[in-house]
Structure 1
Amino acid sequence: MTKTKIGVIGTGSISDVYLSSPQKFLNYEIAGVADINVERAQEQAEKHQIPFSGSVSELLEKEDIELVVNLTIPAAHKEVSIKALQAGKHVYSEKPLATTCNDGLLVMEEARRLGLHVGTAPDTFLGAGLQTCRALLDQGVIGEPVGASAFMLGRGPESWHPNPEFFYKQGAGPLFDLGPYYLTALISLLGPVSQVASMNRVTVPEREITSEPFAGTKIKVEVPTYVSSLLQFSTGISASFITSFDVWDTKLPKIEIYGTKGTLLVPDPNEFNGPVYFMNNETTGWQEADLVSSYTDNCRGIGLADMLRGIKEGRPYLCSGDLGLHVLEVMEAILESSDKKRFLELETNCRRPERLTGFQYQD
């Protein structure tokens, strides 16, 4: 198999799992890594035995690199992605695609203008847990879906993250940081969203970092930290969706889907594994489903590998830029709906991703 050479821009904490991903996926290799901090890029290149490290501009000049993985902070996603496209590279971006829907549209329009491809994380919905849920829905195990609920409830990252300030700035918060996992999962299971309504608040306007090395530093909160929304899907299904950094603890499920014959308990959409439980009018209590694949460990990079396969075969890939743009508009509309105190119709659309099949994976 001919391996596509890719470059990685951004060497923060998420980069390790991407830089080690070629050990699992057979159709690409990492030919270079870059960062605004060139020394950090060099350290990661040495750690993962990558042949090139340097500045962003130096990486984009390398002709052998066909695709760039954008792992920069959210505020830089649009700028870096567009620069990569203008350098003739396909782009696979960490979530979100950009921090505003308009910026996301600019990325997608530039890709179309140049005849290039854009993919976007998260790819956790391609893991065994959520793919099993998709199979159960397709089999009609809970009948026709009629509704859903989703909860991302936690206390915020200032007690454990080494540099948590950006989580409370524009383009982050509980909705933009972890919401893409939940929304991508819901869209992969139920289809695109047609309209939203929301009520949001900033509970604590200033937070204090308690983790090192910035313990004692105050953070001015710029985004809502309790976001309570209602989603309607194009199929007519509705879902309650709450994300928060204001909750000390909870026993609520991550996601549940309710059908005419039963209920499906969906595992954490931030993970690739299960367990998956369901009950219906023919079972006695909850049943644990057998997982449909072996993709249960941290498989970040599987969406990239599928994208490269899709480009080569001329078929749609599952972690598409259109999906990422739709997720971005849903999140933006959730914030705007609260400000305007009314339902908002979505303008973007996307294909409901097919199930992942026929994929080569190396344990």
Structure 2
Amino acid sequence: MATPAKPDHLDGLMTDPYGTYAQLRRTAPVRRITGPDGTPAWLVTRYADVRAALADQRFSVDKRHASPGSYRGFSLPPALDANMLNMDPPDHTRIRRLVVKAFTKQRVESLRAPVRRTADELLDAVEGAGRADLVAAYAAPLPITTICDLLGVPADHRRDFTDWTDALIAPDPAKPDRAKETVVAMLGFYTALIAEKRERPGEDLLSDLIAARDDGDRLGEDELTSLAFLLHFAGYENAVQLIGNAVLALLRHPDQLAALRADPARLPGAVEEFMRYDASAVFSIRRFAREDVTIGGVTVPAGETVFLGLGSAGRDPDRFPDPDRLDLTRDASGHLALGHGIHHCVGAPLARLELTTAIGALVERFPDLALGVPESELRWRPSMRARGLLALPVVF
């Protein structure tokens, strides 16, 4: 067994993530670090180890398996915390089965035309200016509109959704109470919305989740509220960053952008490559070892926190040859950007639809799309958990 390394902040994960991952895969593929919450954790970086751990039931997502002092995390009220990302089987199995019954392929496919319509409207709004911040003007409003349509959220609350999500993704140090105020506001909103949908169901996912049953079982109030919160938060955060990261990848590789423009049929495969190349989720949701578990030659003690490096796994040369090169003809299937195993992203089809539509509409509309600032001026969200741009200025 390898000797556990002293906890390390690994600042390179912020300044040079993929260079840092490459070094870790070579020298310390299972490394003890200081996690985002300031407590010690283990970071797993090789593809084979990450994939195996994602499906290993000895690693739990239930915080009750954390040993005292090994995990702090962000505190949510039970009505927002009782979601699938914090549950193991059998509770996870029961809730996911109910979600899958309502979140069907047909429902996702029915969103294709509305998502394209939203993309075209957003591009119409900036076309005359010849320049835009694609995060603020396109990558952010597209998924928030989509998730609100999906859940049946009234249009006059969509600005609130954007503000709430931004307040939790990137808290303002100057407003330390903002995150708690946001949680209270979201809880109140979802509680009222669910009550309204129960009285007057609509043709939306939230109404179907309220009605969903499986052998007489149904979702409880806290489960419904936290599930709506999860779908909103994950559906917005991941899509915003995936779109921004994918556009930047194309602008950095003009040959691949030209190839995609010349052959739009490549787009579905290109979407998989975008997710492999620059995943929005840097780590999977944290795990806790139920028992002493040996992975990559290192034993993780029971109760300690483990982060599985999804971003690192996508750049592992043992799985993806020449991994730092964007190649839209590559077979990128098997990437872990949307997870693996029982916690594989339930919204994966929607994520693929949004990314395909967003990139397709953008490439079709602006044949001379280019960065509007030197690449050195781009700034990334100050987060070890999620990789995404604060802004993406472009000209066209």
Tell me if TM exceeds 0.5: no
Return the TM-score normalized by structure 1: 0.23
Greater fraction strand = 1
Greater fraction helix = 2
